[in-house]
Structure 1
Amino acid sequence: MEIITGGVTAAKGFFAAATAAEIKYKDRTDMAMIYSEVPCKAAGTFTTNVVKAAPVKWDQDIVYNHSNAQAVVCNSGIANACTGEEGYSYCKATADAAAEALGVPADSVLVASTGVIGMQLPMDRITSGVKAMAPKLCGSLEAGTEAAKAIMTTDTVKKEVAVQIEIGGKTVTVGGMCKGSGMIHPNMCTMLGFLTTDVCISKTLLQEALSENIKDTYNMVSVDGDTSTNDTVLLLANGQAGNPEITEKGKDFALFMEALNYVNTTLCKKIAGDGEGATALFEVKIIGAETKEQAVTLSKSVVTSSLTKAAIYGHDANWGRILCAMGYSGAQFDPEKVDLYFESRAGKIKIIENGVSTGYSEAEATKILSEDEVTAIADIKMGTATATAWGCDLTYDYVKINADYRS
């Protein structure tokens, strides 16, 4: 697998564009479009929140009930959530506008929105944005980057990645972009993810690949404990790589899964590290677990602990908070057998052994915790299962950002 520069336009046959429609923001682009020159197999995963935004319902219908998709239109600033029948009708209106501009069926157009809940979309601006983007569609890496910037809300950086693998003697590319910074919590987060690939694969296996990989990637991210109404990850495969179609699990499917996992893991870490107000990516690894489920439960409990997150912000090796969070997770383990380590680019230190302090150097621990990527590793010595969760520290700025988000 080769990591390459790019995002949603890295794979063959994909184009992107962005525009400033002034939906909410007046100083930046706020609409993006992704387009494939040929119809794609489409897969998707969506929020588990009972309150689902109109675009989620629209996309679920397209992904689950239609054979192909060919375009995605996304706006930032307004979420089109809790907007009733009117909001859903605006999804159709957006798809109709894109269909007319691109010459594709309306039921092949996916839509996505992110931003403030409860506001109706200004459809005159949305429609104008669609018309403005269609002639600007371009397959350049720069076009993909501009699309990644246009879907940002409180994000501070654009998020994109791409890789290449070889399947059936053909070069296959998997690329993607996402947005996410706040209201991030499993299962799935206030995040939008758009993945593109030129692999030739059956729709059934494409959906299975995404659904399976979500468990270890997007479902392992938490910034603040709030599960959004708009969470959507879409995966489009247009078959342009020309590899023999993947119709069963085997070596080719495994290779594709490896590439997809790298792309999704990278995007997830970018989301966690860019959590609202965050100064550090906080990674929690549970090793030596008896089962995968146990490891997942423990890692999520630690990464979502507000007290632990605050300690990470203060570069404080307050390991008692981690052990405490593991203890109330609901997973059973022996706290008197736990070893805990902190690790970063500055080094690695063993904090506790068999549940008690090692007498570690506080200065050394603080040095390690002062990096912008910090990992806590807990070995519970019960088996061979592992899990990794991603989050961030909890800072004063998180409250500031969310106290006046609507204004």
Structure 2
Amino acid sequence: MSFAVTLTDDSPGLADVPGFKLAGVHCDVRETGAQRRDLAVVFSEQPAVAAGVFTTNDVKAAPVKHCQAALAAREDFHAIVANSGNANACTGVQGWNDCEAMAAKAAELLKISPDQIFVCSTGRIGRALPMGKISAGIADAVSKLTADSAHSLDAAWAILTSDTKPKTVTARFEVDGQTVTVSGMAKGAGMIEPNMATMLAFVATDAQISKAALQDALAGAVRTSFNSITVDGDMSTNDTVLVLANGQSGVAVDAADSEAGVAFRDALGQVCRSLAAKIVGDGERITKVVTLHVNGAPTEAAAEKVARAIGNSLLVKTSWFGNDPNWGRVLDAAGYARIGLVEEKLDMFYDEIPVIDQGTPLHDNLPQWKEAVSKKHFTITLNLNLGSAAYHLLSADLSEGYVQFNKSE
């Protein structure tokens, strides 16, 4: 038998998972006086196994280094403390000291060890954290920890920066009458390009799994979700995905080839893909979400290179914004990926509408092309007819609003 996974979109978030408590509070990290939540605490009542995937940027924020060190040092964890509004990136020794101070403050209040706490930050680069405000915020959040769904959404709001809405999702499946829950929350809207993106994603589960198996499962889920999206082609200093598994369900999912293990990896993948899609859909001032399918490539690496060339092309992205089915720009971008395309073998579609057939444009379909690319979400399929490998990328257009929003901090 197989275990069916059900997905609840826009769920309350991590409080859906038994044994987890959350809070999100305002402590004015941005120092503007604005009354917006900007600090979150996620707490597992019992020790949890953890896994993480982080930015590959050479310039890594102090919280990323802190999380990586914590993950390498021990097996059991209890909490995540995360702030928005300040990335604590490019802050030197002070940045590391501030991470340790955040962990120490939370540990004191939660009565756990500081090295059982992950610290995450997101926001403006190059400024020291206002630690007086951060410390007060941690105390406030810890005092409000609860499994209540409203507080779970408060936490999801608290990690946002330029996002317009929280991003949450929950997946469940049953094994011998026992429900296993996998739930996630994320932030991200700009500087979105793997590996990974200006994003934080926190996932909780009550599945029982080893650290090694959880890390392997997360790596697989990230590869087809957070690492298959782009908004503007910019990689961040703070990208972090963390999973905490408290084992409370008692359902063992270590074996990747067991029915329970397959269901868990399916659930984790669905949660990550849903959150990734929400990130692109909430991209800074975007008007279009575009799914790119590159098929028939000689290798997956070649397919990915073509997809990213198209998905990050400024000329292609601006044509999407202008509702212009400019397939010439798409093919130009595919060509400068330089993986050995043969123009006479190319097939291309907007949604299901043929654009190119064996390198020959089908101009009679122009009205249908325009109709397709005028939609808020459409698909471009490019078949290279050079092999059997494929890659799929979720991208977005580039609008005047994006330029206005990002021209100054």
Partner of 1:52: 60
Q: Percent identity?
A: 39
Alpha-carbon deviation of 1:27? 2.9
In the other structure, the counterpart of 2:297 is 289
Distance 1:99 1:226 in 2: 34
Q: Check if 1:210 corresponds to 2:242.
A: no
Q: In terms of mean alpha carbon deviation, does 191-200 or 161-170 score higher?
A: 161-170
- Cα 1:245–1:283, aligned 2, differ >3 Å: closer, same or farther? closer
Which of 202, 205, 221 is equivalent to 1:197? 205
CA contact (8 A) 2:170 2:182 kept: yes
Aligned residue for 2:27? 21
Q: Distance in 2 between matches of 1:3 and 1:213?
A: 15
Could you tell me how far 1:249 is from its partner in structure 2? 4.3
Partner residue of 2:95?
Answer: 87
Deviations 1:48-99 (A, max 9, x none): 1111100001000111221111111111111000111111001011011111
The answer as to whether partners of 2:253 and 2:261 remain within 8 angstroms in 1 is: no
Letter in 1 for 2:389: A
**Structure 2 residue corresponding to 1:342, chosen from 319, 342, 350:** 350
* Secondary structure of 1:340 counterpart: strand
What is residue 388 of structure 1 aligned with on the other side? 392
Q: CA deviation at 1:298?
A: 1.6
Tell me which of 267, 272, 284 is aligned to 1:259: 267
Partner of 1:12, secondary structure, is coil
- Within 5 A, what are the aligned runs for 1:90-105? 90-105=98-113
Could you report, residue by residue, the CA deviation over 1:376-397 in whole angstroms, capped at 9, with x for unpaired residues? 1111223332211112100011
Superposition map of 1:108-147 within 5 A: 108-147=116-155
Shift of 1:333: 2.8
Secondary structure at the counterpart of residue 67 of structure 2: helix
Q: For 1:303-354, what per-residue CA distance to the aligned partner results, in whole angstroms no more than 9, with x for missing partners? A: 11111111111111001111111111132232211111112xxxx3211111
User: What amino acid is the match of 1:163?
Assistant: A
Kept in 1, the 8 Å contact 2:42–2:79? The answer is: yes
State the Cα distance separating 1:159 from its structure 2 match: 0.9
Letter in 2 for 1:380: L
Task: Report what 2:401 is aligned to.
Answer: 397
Deviation at 1:404, TM superposition (A): 1.9
Assess if the C-alpha contact under 8 Å between 2:297 and 2:385 holds in 1.
Answer: yes
8 Å contact kept, 1:287–1:295? yes
TM-score using structure 2 length: 0.95
Residues 139-178 of structure 1: CA deviation (Å, up to 9, x unaligned): 1332222211111111112111111123455211111111
Are the equivalent residues in 1 in contact too, given 2:201–2:240 (CA < 8 A)? yes
Aligned residues, how many? 401
The alignment partner of 1:132 has SS state of: helix
Once the two structures are overlaid, the 10-residue window that deviates more, 392-401 or 252-261, is 252-261
Q: Check conservation: 2:253, 2:264, Cα contact below 8 A.
A: no
* Contact persistence 1:246–1:253 (CA under 8 A): yes
Unpaired segments ≥5 residues, structure 1: none
Spell out, residue by residue over 1:224-251, the C-alpha distance to the aligned partner (whole angstroms, 9 max, x if none). 1211110111011110111135256433
Maintained 8 Å contact 2:41/2:82: yes
SS at match of 1:87: helix
1:293 Cα deviation from its structure 2 partner: 1.8
Rounded to whole Å, the distance in 2 between the matches of 1:233 and 1:280 is 25
Q: Which stretch has the larger CA shift, 87-96 or 290-299?
A: 290-299
C-alpha distance in 2 between matches for 1:142 and 1:297: 42
* Matched residue type, 2:387: G
Q: Normalising by the residue count of structure 1, what TM-score does the alignment of the two structures yield?
A: 0.95
Partner in structure 2 of residue 371 of structure 1: 375
Q: Structure 2: how far apart are the matches of 1:291 and 1:152?
A: 37
Counterpart in 1 of 2:232? 224
| Residue number among 16, 19, 40 corresponding to 1:10 in the alignment | 16
Q: How many Å separate the matches in 1 of 2:384 and 2:258?
A: 33
For 2:403 and 2:35, the matched residues in 1 are separated by 23
What displacement does 1:43 show? 0.3
Residues 269, 281 of structure 1: 8 Å contact kept: no
CA displacement at 1:364 relative to structure 2: 2.4
Q: Aligned match of 1:159 in 167, 192, 200? A: 167
Q: Check whether the contact 1:174–1:259 (CA below 8 A) recurs between aligned residues.
A: yes
AA aligned to 1:23 is: V
Q: Which amino acid aligns with 1:277?
A: R
Residue identity in the other structure for 1:118? G
> Mind listing any 5+ residue stretches in structure 2 that lack a counterpart?
none
Letter in 2 for 1:162: T
* C-alpha distance in 1 between matches for 2:49 and 2:338: 40
RMSD: 1.5
Q: Deviations over 1:109-166 (max 9, x none)?
A: 1111111111000111001001001121121332222211111111112111111123
